[in-house]
Amino acid sequence: MDLRQPLTVGAAPYPFSFDPAETALVVIDMQRDFLEPGGFGESLGNDVGQLRKVIDPLRAVLAACRVAGMTVIHTREGHLPDLSDCPPAKLLRGSPRARIGDPGPKGRILVRGEDGHDIIEELYPAPGEPVIDKPGKGAFYATDFGDLLVSHGIRKLVVTGVTTEVCVHTTVREANDRGYECLVLSDCVGSYFPEFQRAGLEMIAAQGGIFGWTAPSEAFLAALAGTSAASQPR
């Protein structure tokens, strides 16, 4: 495929054009701690089952982006073993019996290097794909994500992962303020709360695309494959 060819995705609020050579797929926090029982997500009182529907569509997008030769960047939310990068205000939230750093079924909750902190098998990074370890919700805060985008010549982001209204939104807002154009794939982002999923997606594309664009993965995949289905209005 010619990576310099601009492609167009049928998206809200209007079509999203991108050059795959200047666009990164960002996969946010697809970690066991959020998607499997016993981790951070569940310790905050959430039903982790809600997030698992993202896995299959995101797996297809990840495969297609790899075939197209696009930059793929993964993130993980988590903290140093001594928790020195975890603000006390964050540490004190959630169940008192299962806080960040406490032992869980997959190791210490949301601590780097533990089993639960790592990315689920289905979406595991390929060799050479950067993994950004972040202490906050946004991918830019206290990481080298911004420098990585600049060094790779990236101008646009295709954003996926969990959760829609927390780490996905925070990252999209940070990116938007830094001048990046973001397409959020609606079935490749997930929330523990269906109403937040719907509102979170609507907020991105509202007001003429105040934070970016949204589209189903099918439209993005069609654009990448160069088929006419890519530019159907949604």
Active site residue ranges: 29, 134, 167
- Using H for helix, E for strand and C for coil, what is the string for 115-161? HHHCECHHHCCCCCCCEEEECCCCCCCCCCHHHHHHHCCCCEEEEEE
Q: What is the DSSP letter of 111?
A: B
Q: Is the peptide bond before 13 cis (omega within 30 degrees of 0)?
A: yes
Nearest to ligand TIU of 23, 163 (CB atom): 163
- Distance, in Å, from the CA atom of 154 to the CA atom of 186, rounded to the nearest integer, reads 22
Nearest to ligand TIU of 29, 218 (CB atom): 29
User: Residue count at the site for ligand TIU (CB under 6 A)?
Assistant: 11
- 167, 182, 223, 230: which one binds ligand TIU (CB under 6 A): 167
- 162, 172, 184, 230: which one binds ligand TIU (CB under 6 A): 162
Supply the minimum distance, in Å, between the C-beta of residue 185 and ligand TIU.
16
Nearest to ligand TIU of 15, 78 (CB atom): 78
Q: Count CB-CB contacts under 10 A for residue 139.
A: 29
3-state helix, strand, coil in the chain (%, to 5): 40, 25, 40
| b/e sequence 18-38, b meaning 16+ C-beta within 10 Å | bebbbbbbbbbbbbbbbbbeb
Supply the minimum distance, in Å, between the C-beta of residue 4 and ligand TIU.
33
Stretch that binds ligand TIU, among 17-25, 60-68, 159-167, 211-219 (CB under 6 A): 159-167
Give the chain's radius of gyration (CA, Å): 17
Nearest to ligand TIU of 7, 186 (CB atom): 186
Q: How many residues does the chain have?
A: 234
Site for ligand TIU in 6-65 (CB under 6 A): 29, 34, 41, 44
Supply the minimum distance, in Å, between the C-beta of residue 47 and ligand TIU.
11
Nearest to ligand TIU of 16, 34 (CB atom): 34
Per-residue binding letters, 82-121, with ligand TIU (x by CB under 6 A): ----------------------------------------
Q: Which residues bind ligand TIU (CB under 6 A)?
A: 29, 34, 41, 44, 77, 137, 162-163, 166-167, 192
